[in-house]
Structure 1
Amino acid sequence: MASSSSPQPLLCRLPAAALLLLLLSPAIDAVGCSSQKLTNSALYSTFLDLTTLFASLHFSYDPANSSAAAAFNVAPPKGKDSWVSWALNPTAIGMFGAQVLMTFRDADVMTMKTYNITSTTVKELPISFKTWDRAAEYNSANGMMGSTR
């Protein structure tokens, strides 16, 4: 008898993904995270400095409504054409199926777009899970950041 099991919700996988990042990160520096001034810093209960990437991940999970808030921050970029991107792949290992949030400057305005990687040709497409409060920020002290809930 075949059983049909629904795929595990993406938000349930977020704590596991965060733990994986924690294990892969060579060092966690609470001073670096606490010194960053994020616009919505009250949203994030956990901060990870990803020193090898010159980046940090800020996140929290609310089991009451199965939602998560996350921000990925990188060091100030070198040029106007810089961008930052982070992705989750809820369906596979690798790039195909990755749900991407990309932050960049568009005519000197910070912008965030979504990409659902379905082939080797990257096109702007909606991602497979709901997001709200998406924001793209830049400042010379903290660098470039994309955040969402």
Structure 2
Amino acid sequence: MASPPHPVVTFSLLIFSLLFSTAYSATCAAPKLKNSDLYKNCNELPTLKSTLHWTYTATNKTLSVAFTATPPASDGWVAWGINPTGTAMAGTQAILAYKEPNGSMAVKTYNISSYSSVVEGKLAFQVYDKRAEFNAGDGSITIFAAVESAGGKVNHIWQVGPGVSKGMPERH
């Protein structure tokens, strides 16, 4: 597979419905989050040893998520996103987190408008309460956020990357 011509973050497209059956959602063997009671559903994702805890609240049209994955290196990043318009990487609205050199967590949003353009900035939908936690025990990072969503089927993606250079995620 050829690399894009510019140094950009490329997210592997992994599309799944967030609306899995309750039986499947309740069978998450992943470690419990400290606040896992806030999420009604949990899915062990099929790649990257990652987990998604989530709850959809119809009254305010909000999807609350806690995405956990372990980056391939201690200075790596993890990302979770939604493509509201299609099933390809282009169009994905992503939330990305990594551990800063000083130990604090950085959480940024990226609009992946094309395969060669990844721009940090506001997403196409509202994002509330975004934050991240680092687990020193296993090196995992959990992204917490609530996003505006009309409900129904949601195409979501997730990825991890090797590092961050000058505040920009390196290509995976």
Larger relative strand fraction: 2
Q: CA deviation at 1:78?
A: 4.8
Specify whether residues 55 and 29 from structure 1 end up closer, same or farther in structure 2 by C-alpha distance, changes over 3 A only: farther
Specify whether residues 122 and 98 from structure 1 end up closer, same or farther in structure 2 by C-alpha distance, changes over 3 A only: same
Higher relative contact order (CA 8 A, sep 6+): 2
Tell me the SS of whatever aligns to 2:17.
helix
1:36-75 aligned at under 5 Å gives the runs 36=32, 38-75=33-70
* Structure 2 residue ranges without an equivalent (≥5): 1-15, 147-172
Match for residue 145 of structure 2 among 134, 139, 148: 148
Size of the alignment, in residue pairs?
Answer: 126
Contact 1:29 1:49 in 2 (8 A): no
Larger relative helix fraction: 1
Q: Distance in 2 between matches of 1:60 and 1:146?
A: 14
Deviation per CA, 1:44-100: give whole Å up to 9, x if none.
Answer: 10011125321111000111221110111114x453321110111011221221100
Once superposed, which parts of structure 1, at least 4 consecutive aligned residues long, lie more than 3 Å away? Answer: none
Q: Distance in 1 between matches of 2:57 and 2:26?
A: 24
RMSD, matched Cα: 2.4
Counterpart for residue 99 of structure 1: 93
Question: Which is higher, the Rg of structure 1 or of structure 2?
Answer: 1
Contact 1:111 1:136 in 2 (8 A): yes
* Structure 1 residue ranges without an equivalent (≥5): 1-15
Contact 1:58 1:72 in 2 (8 A): yes
Specify whether residues 132 and 56 from structure 1 end up closer, same or farther in structure 2 by C-alpha distance, changes over 3 A only: same
- What is the TM-score when the length of structure 1 is the normalising length? 0.73
Counterpart for residue 18 of structure 2: 18
Tell me the SS of whatever aligns to 1:134.
strand
Contact 1:28 1:51 in 2 (8 A): no
Q: Distance in 2 between matches of 1:115 and 1:128?
A: 10
- What is the TM-score when the length of structure 2 is the normalising length? 0.64
Q: Distance in 2 between matches of 1:69 and 1:31?
A: 17
Counterpart for residue 80 of structure 2: 86
Q: CA deviation at 1:28?
A: 7.3
Q: Does 1:109 align with 2:93?
A: no
Q: Does 1:123 align with 2:119?
A: yes
User: Could you tell me the percent identity over the aligned residues?
Assistant: 32
